[in-house]
Amino acid sequence: MNITITRNNKEYKYKLDKEYSTILDALEYIKENIDNTLSYRSCCKSGICGSCAVIVNESEKLACKSKIDENDKVKPLKYCKVIKDLVVEINQIEKLLKENKTFIENYSNNLITNDEQKLINIQSNCILCQSCYSSCPVVEINKEFKGPYALTRSLRYINDKKESNFSNKLDEIQRNGIWDCTLCGNCTLVCPQFIDPKTDIMNLRMKSIQNGYSDPNIQNNNFFNEFDFDSGFNPNSF
What is the C-alpha to C-alpha distance for residues 73 and 23, in angstroms, rounded to an integer? 10
What is the per-residue pLDDT across 22-81, written as a single tens digit (0 to 9) for each?
Answer: 999 999 999 999 999 999 999 999 999 999 999 999 999 999 999 999 999 999 999 999
Q: How far is CA 84 from CA 24, 38, 50, 144, 234, in A?
A: 17, 8, 18, 24, 63
Q: Which are the contacts of 146, defined by CB distance < 8 A and separation ≥ 6?
A: 96, 99, 100, 173, 176, 177
Bridge-based pairing of strands 2-7 and 72-75 is parallel
Phi, psi of 225 (to 5 degrees): -75, -25
Local mean pLDDT, 10-residue blocks, the chain (238 residues): 93 87 95 95 94 97 95 96 96 91 91 89 95 96 95 95 91 96 97 97 96 82 44 44
Helix axes 148-158, 114-124, angle to 10 degrees: 160
Residue 201 carries which side chain, given as an amino acid letter?
A: I
